[in-house]
Amino acid sequence: CEKEFLDRPPEDAYSLDEFYSSEAQVNASTNILYNAPWFQFANTPMWAIGELSSGNARTWDDNSADFMKFTVTNRKNHLANGWSSLWSVVAQANAVINFLPDRVDASVSQPVIDNAIGEAKFMRAMAYFYLVRIWGPVPIIENNLDYVYNPQINTNPVDDIYTFMENDLMFAIDNCYSKNRGSNYSDNGHISSGSAKALLAKIYLYQRDYSQARAYAEEVINSGEFKLFGLEVPGSYNDLFDTKNNNNEESIAAIQWSNTGEYGQGNPLQAMFAFTTALTGTGDGWGAVSPSIDLTQSYEDGDLRRYGTIMEEGNEYPNLNGGYVVPENPGTQGTNVAIKKYVVGKPEYNGGGSSQNAANNTYLLRYADLLLIHAEAIMAGAESTTDGAALASVNKVRERAGLEPLEVLTKEQLLHERRVELAFEGEYFYDLGRLDRSEAIAIISAQERGTYSNDDPPVIYSENFTPSADDFTFAYPPVEVQKNPLLEADPVPYNFN
């Protein structure tokens, strides 16, 4: 009696030790990796770095404008939020990787277990991919328990982190289910072996290991698992970002937001991107950033992606809140345009959501990106190519955008395609970061990051900002350095055993 009186196991939660007792539970164990831990990263750092620093967007918000002006200090809350958010993904992935095998019930079959661990390794690699691109060297953590009582650890070199991601993705390729993305979108949510191949191709590309990148990209393309939405399946570039097309055939990996409106479990992007509360209906819609003049001007004539990315006066969006016509001078940041991508409208048109919590997915990787990776891998660092396979991939992407096929693919053209295809998906700054520094600095310092005047016709108040070579990665949050001064020390090679 006494023993029982003092034994109080949790009454409102599963205990870790008893959780993995059925296939259903093991399958559900990875859901978390697609959701809440990503929230703070998606909320601001994703676009503050990916769009403001890259020159795709501009803002007057003195808090975010530092990213545009390359005056970011380590105290920036956006950085701290991104840092802790991405490490949450790592921690939750590690929990599955380390705890599941020891605790899983014998009745659960090995492929089910291996698939879950493969998904976790994929997401761990995805989080590290962002970490290494934003901060450079960071600690490799395979099991958080190893450092709980000894938290002051060194960072590991960037190359080791890439090796670590490759290992994770190899495991995911071997152990995750193979899929063929069909029209039943609800089956497509979890990543597959093919998703891991696609991410691995991108990671090899970042390392300039072009042959491997090409090989994996081609495996993905040849598998037919993914299709270009609006080209190989009905739809359009604009519809790609609608809530109803979550997990369409083009989606390789995406954050799977909930529609319940619980804070931190829905998509926060619309709250930031929509230029008016009238679009969202939920009190948010802050127009924190607007497309820059530079981005808007960079579109080729007739590029359909412009309509799906940028709201301009007079644009009609029939699916947005049952029909929306963009008024005069949208946007809040002096560029007379506003962001369209990821702006999905009011909860009643999107199956739920609430303030800062829409139900539309956020892409982490999609097939169009892979096609461009494929083309770039084939170029293998050359200034241009006429390789048929490379052109085929790029032209597929261009065809959906309503553009003429290219006959020669230049490096500049490829960078441009990546920029407009993936604008406001948080990619362009990393693409610039892959260039030689002087080249990237030249591109950025020539970008028009200014505003239009109120005159008719408007004139440009020009603003240009020149980054220095070390502005392409960011400082560790100071509270973290305070807890672990070793973060500032030189990276130490990782012991892979």
- Residues 226-265 close enough to bind another protein by CB under 8 A: 246, 256-265
Report the residue from 346, 366, 374, 419 that binds another protein according to the rule CB under 8 A.
346
Q: How far, in Å, CA of 409 to CA of 429, rounded?
A: 21
Cβ-Cβ contacts under 8 Å for 441 (sequence gap 6 or more): 466, 467, 468, 469
Report the residue from 156, 245, 298, 333 that binds another protein according to the rule CB under 8 A.
333
- The answer to whether the beta carbons of residues 384 and 409 sit under 8 Å apart is yes
- The footprint of another protein on residues 4-23 (CB under 8 A) is 5-17, 19
Question: Would residue 8 be called left, alpha or beta, if left means φ above 0 and alpha means ψ between -120 and 50 degrees?
Answer: beta
In this chain, which stretch among 50-58, 309-317, 331-339, 390-398 interacts with another protein, using CB under 8 A?
A: 331-339
Residues 136-155 vs another protein: string with x where CB under 8 A? --xx-x--xx-xxxxxx---
Instruction: Tell me the closest approach of the beta carbon of residue 223 to another protein, in angstroms.
Output: 23
In terms of Cα–Cα distance, which of 99, 91, 78 is closest to 14? Answer: 99
Instruction: Tell me the closest approach of the beta carbon of residue 435 to another protein, in angstroms.
Output: 23
Residue 72 as a binder of another protein (CB under 8 A): the answer is yes
Instruction: Tell me the closest approach of the beta carbon of residue 80 to another protein, in angstroms.
Output: 5
Residue 88 as a binder of another protein (CB under 8 A): the answer is yes
Report the residue from 204, 216, 241, 286 that binds another protein according to the rule CB under 8 A.
286
Report the residue from 238, 315, 361, 393 that binds another protein according to the rule CB under 8 A.
361
| SS3 state of residue 451 | strand
Report the residue from 132, 288, 358, 415 that binds another protein according to the rule CB under 8 A.
288
E strand or H helix at 461: strand 460-461
- Residue 210 or residue 465: which is nearer to another protein going by CB? 465
Instruction: Tell me the closest approach of the beta carbon of residue 58 to another protein, in angstroms.
Output: 11
Question: Would residue 267 be called left, alpha or beta, if left means φ above 0 and alpha means ψ between -120 and 50 degrees?
Answer: beta
Token digits of residue 271: 């709250």
Residue 454 as a binder of another protein (CB under 8 A): the answer is yes
Give the number of other CB atoms < 10 A from CB of residue 212. Answer: 16
Instruction: Tell me the closest approach of the beta carbon of residue 283 to another protein, in angstroms.
Output: 3
Q: How far, in Å, CA of 211 to CA of 230, rounded?
A: 29
- The footprint of another protein on residues 410-439 (CB under 8 A) is none
Q: How far, in Å, CA of 343 to CA of 335, rounded?
A: 18
Residue 473 as a binder of another protein (CB under 8 A): the answer is no
Residue 323 as a binder of another protein (CB under 8 A): the answer is no
Question: Could you tell me where the DSSP H helices lie in 269-366?
Answer: 269-273, 277-280, 293-298, 304-309
- Residue 278 or residue 442: which is nearer to another protein going by CB? 278
Instruction: Tell me the closest approach of the beta carbon of residue 451 to another protein, in angstroms.
Output: 7
Q: How far, in Å, CA of 369 to CA of 354, rounded?
A: 30
